[in-house]
Amino acid sequence: MPIFKVPDAGAAGVIKDISPHKLPPQAWTDASNMRFLDGSVRQFYGHGPVYGTPAVTPLHVVPVNVGATRYWLYAGEAKIYAVTAVSGTDVHTNITRQTGGVDVNYAGAPNAWTSTVLSGIPILNAGNLVDPPQRWDLNVANRCVKLDNWPDNTTCKSLRAYSNYLVALHVSRGGNTFPYMVKWSHPADPGGIPISWDKDDGTKDAGEYDLAEGGDQIIDGLQLRDSFMIYKEQSVWRMDKIGGDFVFRFSKVLGLSGAMNRNCIVEIDGLHFVLTGSDVVIHDGQSPAQVLDKAARRALFQDMDVSSADRAFVFKNPFLNEVFVCYPSIGNTIPNKALVWNYKDRTVSYRTIPSLHHANYGPVDSTLSGSWAADQDSWDSDLTAWNGPDFTPNTARVLMAAAGPNLFLLDSSATFNGALASSYLERRALSFGDDERVKTINGVRARITGNPGETVIVKIGGHQTDPFADPEWTATMQHVIGQTIACDGFASFRYPAIRFESGTAVQWRLDSYDFSIIDGGKW
């Protein structure tokens, strides 16, 4: 009886850009909450709450260090807080600006805040063209204040650091909006804040430049190696320091794509990963390359709720070499799904996310990782040792700002905030090298790892004539981890299909699987 082996089940990821019957056997046609990593495929690690309950719904998070103490700042619609863990106790401190001892609330909105850190000093910008950028001096006894030396009656949609400069993008001044304007400061001294933004002071390097070509407005910007990349709606420009009277040179590098929203660009290995208005690309400051092609790209944007697409954002999970493209699916107003791209393995997967407004990576307090007392998972579903290391080092954790309000730590739990994740893998239209003959499958041998005694559901089926049609599932089997050697079932189709689903397994991994096949002939 012929055995068809499928090794390295996680080597290819989900591929939607090739007809399913032409895909290699390791490729999957669909998946949810499964991560493709190092040749295997495993359920995504979960997330759980940290730092207690936020004082306000967090819309933006940024990590900062105050000496040896690790803080996270979170900005809401009206206020900014700093949170840290002190001797195992979560301490939330209101650092919202004040006048006469009374908080002066901001007019923040989802995916409008931007942040940057210059010489260790955090600067947050509400991006509403009403509130000026805010600076915090790292002293919890003090509040945020308007950025030092920032010009009066001036605001911007995005503020980013570039070397020792600050760059303001899409500027409003004196009641007039300049959506194509790039405004930069005089360079800051080490450990300090820029002393001037005055473009008319010939003794300073501060200046302005209008990127009016094309008419598309500036969205955001981010440093890439020695350059600063400026993202408009339909183009990308590079800002390079040249010195002299002009200070910077501006050149157009991409003309057909920009950035969808603020917070849609991250740096990976000397490249920028960008969610544009109609694509997902990487580029080196000169030449772009598509991350998704054809069907996968269309599937992403067709699943995105058009009326809430301005909430979409991206973040990096550096320890596992991933970028998450977070977006609201149709009918949702807050991002609830993520396309996950592994930039080392070049694989795509998909994860459900808990209504996120923003996420960022950085260090967390060591008491938040590997602490058995804080671990929510039951003993029989937990994958961590008591008081042992967590899934990810505490120097590179992803903190997620979620509705609720919640602050969630990614890859910190076996469950999704205490709930069993619904996960599956599906491969349709397996041709086994010949899409004319009928294949009769009477068994599957899967190499699945997880907690012994927990179950994974295995289904086989297929379709006789159409490789693109939904499969007819003719056999549903139960694989008991640590007990099952092979699952017996029957499916006879020209285009067989297989599906693995989480049963009672909280966390599980598939390394490879085999089919027992009989040739059913052409008819």
pLDDT in tens, 114-150: 999 999 999 999 999 999 999 999 999 999 999 999 9
pLDDT category at 381 given cuts 50, 70, 90 is very low
CA angle 161, 162, 167 (to 5 degrees): 65
Alpha-carbon gap, residue 218 to 220, rounded angstroms:
6
The pLDDT, as a whole number, for residue 180 is 98
Alpha-carbon gap, residue 224 to 436, rounded angstroms:
51
CA angle 388, 391, 392 (to 5 degrees): 110
Lowest mean pLDDT across 225-229, 269-273, 288-292, 373-377: 373-377
Q: What are 113's two structure tokens?
A: 């805040």
Region 28-34 average pLDDT: 98
Beta-strand relationship, 207-210 and 176-184: antiparallel
Q: Single out the residue of 9, 27, 14 nearest to residue 430, CA to CA.
A: 27
The pLDDT, as a whole number, for residue 370 is 42
Alpha-carbon gap, residue 335 to 332, rounded angstroms:
7
Do the Cβ atoms of 481 and 451 come closer than 8 Å? yes
pLDDT at 523 over 80: no
Ordered by where they begin, the domains of the chain are 3-44+423-519 (2.60.120)
Q: What are 407's two structure tokens?
A: 């602050």
pLDDT at 506 over 50: yes
Do the Cβ atoms of 28 and 429 come closer than 8 Å? no
Do the Cβ atoms of 31 and 425 come closer than 8 Å? yes
Q: Single out the residue of 423, 405, 421 nearest to residue 413, CA to CA.
A: 421
pLDDT at 188 over 80: yes
Alpha-carbon gap, residue 335 to 409, rounded angstroms:
16
pLDDT in tens, 418-450: 999 999 999 999 999 888 899 999 999 999 999
CA angle 456, 462, 467 (to 5 degrees): 125
Q: Single out the residue of 512, 114, 113, 45 nearest to residue 322, CA to CA.
A: 45
pLDDT category at 244 given cuts 50, 70, 90 is confident
Region 140-169 average pLDDT: 98
User: Which amino acid does the sequence have at 354?
Assistant: P
Region 352-380 average pLDDT: 71
User: Which amino acid does the sequence have at 59?
Assistant: L
Sheet holding 69-75, edge to edge: 60-66, 69-75, 80-86, 89-94
Beta-strand relationship, 439-450 and 165-173: unpaired
Do the Cβ atoms of 330 and 303 come closer than 8 Å? yes
pLDDT category at 371 given cuts 50, 70, 90 is very low
> CB 91: neighbour CB atoms within 10 A?
14
| pTM for this model (two decimals) | 0.94
Alpha-carbon gap, residue 71 to 62, rounded angstroms:
9
State what percent of residues in the chain have pLDDT above 90: 86
Sheet holding 406-413, edge to edge: 46-49, 406-413, 397-402, 356-362
Q: Single out the residue of 203, 174, 172, 170 nearest to residue 186, CA to CA.
A: 203
Do the Cβ atoms of 11 and 374 come closer than 8 Å? no
Reduced to 3 DSSP states, what percent helix, strand and coil does the chain have, rounded to the nearest 5? Answer: 5, 50, 45
The pLDDT, as a whole number, for residue 520 is 78
Q: Which residue has the higher pLDDT, 153 or 371?
A: 153
The pLDDT, as a whole number, for residue 366 is 63
Alpha-carbon gap, residue 75 to 98, rounded angstroms:
15
DSSP labels, 445-478: EEEEEESTT-EEEEEEEEESS-TTSPPEEEEEEE
For 380, the 3-state DSSP assignment is helix
The pLDDT, as a whole number, for residue 385 is 39
pLDDT at 293 over 50: yes
Region 33-53 average pLDDT: 95
The pLDDT, as a whole number, for residue 379 is 40
For 345, the 3-state DSSP assignment is coil
Mean per-residue pLDDT over the chain, rounded:
93
pLDDT in tens, 57-86: 999 999 999 988 999 999 999 999 999 998
End-to-end Cα, the chain, rounded Å? 20
pLDDT at 369 over 80: no
The pLDDT, as a whole number, for residue 389 is 37
| Dihedral sign (CA 439, 443, 447, 448) | positive
Q: What are 94's two structure tokens?
A: 């209101």
The pLDDT, as a whole number, for residue 294 is 84
Alpha-carbon gap, residue 236 to 230, rounded angstroms:
6
Alpha-carbon gap, residue 196 to 188, rounded angstroms:
9
DSSP category for residue 73: E
pLDDT category at 386 given cuts 50, 70, 90 is very low
Region 270-279 average pLDDT: 97
